[in-house]
């Protein structure tokens, strides 16, 4: 007989509502803590949102922040941030640094003459240093990018809410949206806590996480609707427990396979995409948690209709919009 790996038994009877107030309370506290972290610590905005110039340098010689900073101090460039970039994939003789120069004028970028002066100063400290990339974003553009990113996340969330409302009921839509807000806030909070770079790639990761999370939520909701038709006399809380147990294997298998791919990218993908991959990996975790412990709790507290599928000729179960594909 062929070997088949099972992460979850075929039949489970886990009571996901046993500690519902504790789990939901932890989620609520985590959301509040994330907001406070952003307000107190702020976000480590990348060059996309902050404006200025970002220079990526490479050298076979060992990197020293103090030497680089001393070389640039005499140039009077204003706000300068210098960090060393670590990556397991780098060779022993490859030392990478990221130099960020804050916005100093309306353009938000250094002039070609200033760039030449910077390169000359760094070569005086390390003759073998080279500029791998130079990126500049003006303050006006960065402000517009922040607003556009906010609109993108908001529009995606609103669109998901409308779809689920038409596909199921408004209670399902509200539960899904609150779970998505939970995922976004916790992701932004973790970036604020560890001061990870927050840029346009992070926004892309947030939007991808929303899609992943709502996909998992819709699968559970679809099975829930089927069970509501099948077990009309069963209490709603028992139907929900049954539903989550029936979809648990699919949820865990999807999360594990996604995490394996993201884990490989996190380790071997390089520092350029590390922020994006970390946001995705964290989003997979919180997305699974919110589906099980946030979205369904909201639906339970709001209640749902139990009279779906009364007649065989009624068409697909659900609302009058249930046939929306």
- pLDDT tens by residue, 41-60: 998 887 777 777 888 888 88
Q: What is the pLDDT of residues 276-307, one digit of tens each?
A: 899 999 999 998 899 888 888 888 888 877 66
Terminal Cα distance for the chain, rounded: 39
Question: For the chain, what percent of residues have pLDDT higher than 90?
Answer: 15
Provide the CA 300 distance to its chain's centre, in angstroms.
26
State the CATH class of domain 52-137.
alpha beta
CA max distance for the chain: 83
pLDDT at 86 over 80: no
Domain assignments of the chain as residue spans, ordered by start: 20-44+142-314, 52-137
- SS3 percent helix, strand, coil of the chain, rounded to 5, is 60, 10, 30
CATH topology of domain 20-44+142-314: Multidrug efflux transporter AcrB transmembrane fold (1.20.1640)
pTM above 0.95, yes or no: no
Which residues make Cβ contacts (< 8 Å) with residue 162, sequence separation at least 6? Answer: 173
Instruction: Report the alpha-carbon angle 260-264-269, nearest 5.
Output: 145
pLDDT of residue 65: 80
- What are the CA-CA distances from residue 260 to residues 35, 234, 265 (Å)? 30, 38, 9
Rounded Cα–Cα distance for residues 29 and 35 (Å) = 10
Interval 227-231 mean pLDDT: 87
> Which 3 state secondary structure label does DSSP give 133?
strand
Interval 147-155 mean pLDDT: 86
Rounded Cα–Cα distance for residues 39 and 36 (Å) = 5
Please state whether beta strands 52-59 and 80-85 pair in parallel, antiparallel, or not at all (unpaired).
unpaired
Rounded Cα–Cα distance for residues 154 and 160 (Å) = 10
């Amino acid at each position: 007989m062929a070997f088949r790996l099972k992460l979850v038994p075929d039949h489970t009877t886990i009571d996901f509502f046993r500690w519902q107030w504790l789990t939901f309370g932890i989620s609520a506290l985590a959301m509040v803590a994330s907001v406070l972290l952003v307000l107190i610590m702020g976000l480590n905005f990348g060059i996309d949102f902050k404006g200025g110039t970002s220079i990526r340098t490479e050298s076979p010689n060992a990197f020293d922040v103090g030497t680089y900073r001393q070389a640039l101090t005499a140039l009077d460039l204003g706000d300068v941030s210098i960090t060393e970039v670590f990556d397991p994939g780098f060779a022993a003789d490859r030392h990478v640094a990221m130099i960020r120069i804050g916005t100093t004028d309306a353009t938000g970028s250094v002039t070609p003459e200033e760039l030449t002066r910077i390169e000359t100063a760094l070569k005086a400290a390390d003759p073998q240093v080279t500029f791998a990339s130079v990126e500049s974003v003006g303050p006006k553009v960065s402000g517009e990018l922040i607003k556009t990113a906010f609109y993108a996340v908001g529009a995606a969330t609103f669109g998901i809410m409308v779809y689920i409302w038409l596909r199921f009921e408004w209670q399902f839509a509200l539960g899904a949206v609150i779970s998505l807000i939970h995922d976004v806030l916790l992701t932004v909070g973790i970036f604020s806590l560890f001061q990870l770079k927050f840029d346009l790639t992070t926004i892309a990761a947030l939007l991808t996480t929303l899609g992943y999370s709502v996909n998992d939520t819709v699968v559970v909701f679809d099975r829930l609707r089927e069970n509501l038709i099948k077990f009309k006399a069963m209490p709603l809380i028992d139907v929900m427990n049954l539903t989550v147990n029936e979809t648990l294997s699919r949820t865990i298998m999807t999360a594990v396979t996604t995490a394996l791919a993201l884990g490989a990218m996190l380790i071997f993908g390089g520092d350029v995409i590390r922020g994006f991959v970390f946001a995705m990996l964290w989003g997979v975790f919180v997305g699974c948690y919110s589906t099980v412990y946030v979205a369904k709790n909201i639906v339970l507290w709001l209640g749902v209709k139990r009279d779906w599928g009364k007649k065989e000729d009624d068409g697909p179960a659900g609302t009058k919009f249930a046939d929306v594909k």
